[in-house]
């Protein structure tokens, strides 16, 4: 099956995803990179039904959903809207806010808000693992500032390196990378999101920040990943987003571990 193309520019996006049929073909090609297999008869020929949402097996007539098990599961919005939202989210370094998406795609704000949170849910791999084992951290050096709390902490086998102006370093040289990441994060939250991030949803925004940073060199894979294609991630429902974690049916944003490897997607 031909590899689905990834649009590098907006005009290219408009050309490649000109209608619902083209969008459905993209999702299908990304979802079955080895070619379609019917889950009932293992037949390998299918056609997309007129609604562009269902796939019918040419051999046994089994009808499956194009979007089942993705973040677009059960959506009433056009696939082109989802694809454009995901494309904007991966290609803009600053991401998009729900207010921007509302204006750009002509959505109700609640729809844009939910769509972005569903896309963010696919930014964390469901089978992620915590860092573990000794070979990962053996010989690791922890770089800290000179905060007095650190002095009495057990080092558990780590080396500690102190960066501090008290040790003769220039102020700007102390923990440069750490400060850069944190200041970029703060600028993003204050800029794109105008600082309006509820504590309940902060984890989802941190996941987005880490996702975009880790995949900045593989936008095509990030694009398919965001749509949850091949990852069986459906994301929170609107009701779940507005229900507290502790309440029945509440949604807790999954935490990224930072140890995720790049997925082996069909690009
Ligand atoms: Zn079949």
> Which uninterrupted H or E stretch holds 48?
strand 46-48
Helix (H, G, I), strand (E, B) or coil at 220: helix
Q: Where are the alpha helices (DSSP H) in the chain?
A: 10-16, 20-31, 79-91, 98-105, 109-121, 148-151, 176-191, 202-214, 219-226, 238-241
The whole-number pLDDT of residue 245 equals 63
* Nearest residue to 96 via CA among 117, 76, 122: 117
**List of residues 6+ apart from 47 with CB closer than 8 A:** 55, 56, 58
Q: What is the mean pLDDT of residues 217-238?
A: 82
pLDDT higher than threshold 80 for residue 59: yes
Q: Report the separation in Å between the CA atom of 230 and the middle of ligand 1, taken as the mean of its atom positions.
A: 20
pLDDT on residue 264:
44
Q: SS3 sequence, 158-178?
A: CEEEECCHHHCCCHHHCCHHH
Domain borders along the chain are 10-127+196-241
CA of 146 to the centre of ligand 1 (A): 65
What residues have their beta carbon closer than 5 A to ion ligand 1?
A: 38, 40-41, 43, 57, 59-60, 62
What percentage of residues in the chain have a pLDDT greater than 90? 36
pLDDT of 3 higher than 70:
no
pLDDT tens figures, 18-36:
999 999 999 888 888 888 8
Opening angle at CA 78, ends 244 and 80, nearest 5: 105
CA-nearest of 213, 226, 205, 219 to 258 is: 213
C-alpha angle 76-115-110 in degrees, rounded to nearest 5: 85
67 alpha carbon – ligand 1 mean position (Å): 18
Q: H/E/C letters for each residue in 189-218?
A: HHHCCCCCCCHHHHHHHHHHHHHHHHCCCC
What confidence category does residue 265 fall into, taking pLDDT thresholds of 50, 70 and 90? very low
Pairwise pLDDT comparison (133 vs 68), residue with the higher score = 68
DSSP, collapsed to helix, strand or coil, labels residue 47 as strand
Q: Residue 203, Cβ neighbours under 10 Å: how many?
A: 16
């Amino acid at each position: 099956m031909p590899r689905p193309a990834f649009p590098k520019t907006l005009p290219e996006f408009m050309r490649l995803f000109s209608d619902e049929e083209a969008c459905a073909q993209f999702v299908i090609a990304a979802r079955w990179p080895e070619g379609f297999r019917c889950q009932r008869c293992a037949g390998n020929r299918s056609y997309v039904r007129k609604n562009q949402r269902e796939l019918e097996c040419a051999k046994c007539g089994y009808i499956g959903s194009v979007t089942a098990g993705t973040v677009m599961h059960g959506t009433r919005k056009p696939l082109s809207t989802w694809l454009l939202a995901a494309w904007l989210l991966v290609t803009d370094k600053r991401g998009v806010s729900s207010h921007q998406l509302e204006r750009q795609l002509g959505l109700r704000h609640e729809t844009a808000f939910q769509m972005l949170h569903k896309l963010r849910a696919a930014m964390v791999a469901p089978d992620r693992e915590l860092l573990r084992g000794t070979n990962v951290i053996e010989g690791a050096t922890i770089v800290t500032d000179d905060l007095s709390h650190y002095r009495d902490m057990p080092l558990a086998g780590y080396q500690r390196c102190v960066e501090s102006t008290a040790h003769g370093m220039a102020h700007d040289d102390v923990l440069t990378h750490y400060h850069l990441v944190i200041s970029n994060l703060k600028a993003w939250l204050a800029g794109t999101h105008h600082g309006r991030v509820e504590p309940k949803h902060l984890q989802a925004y941190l996941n987005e920040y880490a996702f975009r940073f880790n995949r900045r060199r593989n936008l095509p894979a990030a694009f398919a990943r965001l749509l949850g294609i091949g990852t069986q991630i459906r994301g929170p429902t609107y009701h779940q987003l507005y229900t507290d974690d502790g309440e029945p049916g509440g949604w807790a944003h999954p935490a990224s571990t930072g140890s995720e490897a790049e997925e082996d997607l069909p690009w």
